[in-house]
Amino acid sequence: MKRTVSFVQPRRLTGGRHLINRFFLLALTSCTFFVLSCEKAPEEEIGPAEIAASNRPAAGMIGINVVLNAPITEAALAELNALGTVLDVLPQIRALTMRASSSNLQAIQKLSFVEAANPDAARQGSPLDAVAVADFSNGLNTWNLDAINVTDLGQGRTIAQDGNGVFIGVLDTGLLDSWRQYFPQERIATQYARSFGGGGGERGTVSDQPNKWEHDQDSHGTHVTSTIIGYNLGGTSINGAAPMATIIPVKVLGQNGSGWSSVVARGIMYMAELKAGVLKDSPVVINMSLGGPVLDAIEKAAMDYAISQGVIIVASAGNRGTAGMGYPGAYEPVISVASASLNSAFVTPTWWYSFNVADPTNVADFFISTFSSRAKSGQDLDVTAPGQYIVGPYQLNSGTLSYYYLSGTSMASPHVAGIVALMAQKDPTLTAERAERILEAVALPMATPEAAGHGFITADAALAGMDSQTSSPRRPRAR
């Protein structure tokens, strides 16, 4: 079947045709589509209350996430079942999900053995031909990869590390049916890929959905993955932050790009179990380009457990501007990422792959995206990476390969997940705490801390920083 490939540009560019690396002609259109954002803008943001209300039946039943302060016992389950129905139990983190009347939430919270309980929190993100090559290590340089110094225009990759041996769990919407046309099969760990659903509203439970991970209809997870390992653009290889890393797609967001913290928590626990089991000898990183306005108890417990098992978690800061960061990114043990863009964007029609970002990195060449969440009191913002006008696969019509500029902190986060993979390849014993400390220490300050955290991060600086940032204590954080 003949397939067409389209590249939709922002309104700032006029229609026309441009040759990429002599091999592939972009079909530019005069479409008025501007930029796809990974998360809803603040005025459009749908919170837990709104989504829960839309799903809630007349009886007022809701999903509730509960974390206990002691091991789960039959007596505790009996008391909880008297106030609702326990549906999903996670004994490793003393947590469970249940369905109960919203009027019983306060009674559940007051039980002596309950540490925390809250309504399930909303989270936002959004036969096949195979790619012949095994990786995109020799792929085309793009401005965002040049900016973080993993590639340079005309030189290809400029660092020794490529992510080989590191597993990255992309907790997102899963991958498109056509993922083999974008990515090498060797880079996707299909044997570990999973899909979880349910959660929220009146359900209060999480389901395992075999194989749904590769039947996504949203494209968000596919675009995020493309930043990490690169992608095939109609025969032209595009490089990635860590092109030899192995991706584990874990679908935790629905086909509309939204989901619930109980499902995200199950995905986190799944990655933790892999790290504790079959991947015990391999570095494991999680990327979560998703978030919501509140920190959920069961999600927090799952992250703490995963980090204790040796998993390193990277997450987007959120797209809420001055309204504050999203969670899980704002949670201190998570490496959170804000979004920056290039001042010289659109200087030429081919700027996104033909512009040579200056070396050494000059933070004056970049600016903080206006949508990128600023940290409020009690929130922790770590570093900044490219997150505006990032080109990657984004499929709107089944059977039509298409590529879009996307903007959002969801696009910034996988850059840092890739950098962390390079760091973990260099030292497989790398811990979450040490990785965060190194990134903070070597980032280039570029704005006020609430806007950019410790500054703009580059891969070469992070790798060099590993030699000096070994066992020094964590610096105190201003609150």
Per-residue pLDDT tens digits for 335-358? 999 999 999 999 999 999 999 999
DSSP string, 434-462: HHHHHHHHHSB--S-HHHHTT-B--HHHH
Say what the alpha-carbon torsion angle 21, 163, 261, 412 is, to the nearest 10 degrees.
Answer: -40
Could you tell me which of 432, 435, 433, 431 has the C-alpha nearest to residue 463?
A: 435
pLDDT tens per residue across span 180-229: 999 999 999 999 999 998 887 656 678 888 789 999 988 999 999 999 99
Number of Cβ atoms within 10 Å of the Cβ of 463? 22
- Give the count of alpha carbons within 13 A of 197, CB side only: 14
| Range 246-275 average pLDDT | 95
Helix (H, G, I), strand (E, B) or coil at 197: strand
- Residue 45, pLDDT score: 33
Interatomic CA distance for residues 465 and 440, integer angstroms:
10
Fold match between 42-123 and 124-465? no
* Proportion of the chain above pLDDT 70, given as a percent: 83
- Mean pLDDT in the chain? 85
For residues 400 and 138, the answer to whether their CB atoms sit within 8 Å is no
Say which residues have a Cβ less than 8 Å from residue 214's Cβ, sequence separation at least 6: 174, 175, 176, 177, 179, 190, 193, 249
| Range 305-314 average pLDDT | 98
| Range 426-434 average pLDDT | 98
pLDDT tens per residue across span 14-64: 222 222 232 232 332 222 222 333 333 332 333 333 333 433 333 589 999
- Residue 359, pLDDT score: 93
Residue 234's pLDDT band, with cuts at 50, 70 and 90, is: confident
215 token code pair: 């039947």
Helix (H, G, I), strand (E, B) or coil at 383: strand
Interatomic CA distance for residues 283 and 169, integer angstroms:
11
- Residue 431, pLDDT score: 98
DSSP H or E segment with residue 147 = helix 143-147
Distance from chain centroid for Cα 161: 21
Could you tell me which of 412, 457, 410 has the C-alpha nearest to residue 437?
A: 457
Domain boundaries of the chain, sorted by first residue:
42-123, 124-465
Span 124-465: which CATH code? 3.40.50.200
Torsion region of 394: left, alpha or beta (phi above 0 gives left; psi -120 to 50 gives alpha): beta
Q: Whole-model pTM?
A: 0.82
| Range 62-82 average pLDDT | 96
Say what the alpha-carbon torsion angle 429, 434, 439, 445 is, to the nearest 10 degrees.
Answer: -160
Name the CATH code of domain 42-123 (choices 3.30.70.80, 3.90.870.10, 3.30.230.10, 3.90.25.10): 3.30.70.80
- Residue 33, pLDDT score: 26
Q: Residue 129 above 50 pLDDT?
A: no
Residues involved in catalysis:
172, 220, 410
| Numbers of helices and strands, H then E, in the chain | 12, 25
92 token code pair: 């490793």
- Residue 31, pLDDT score: 24
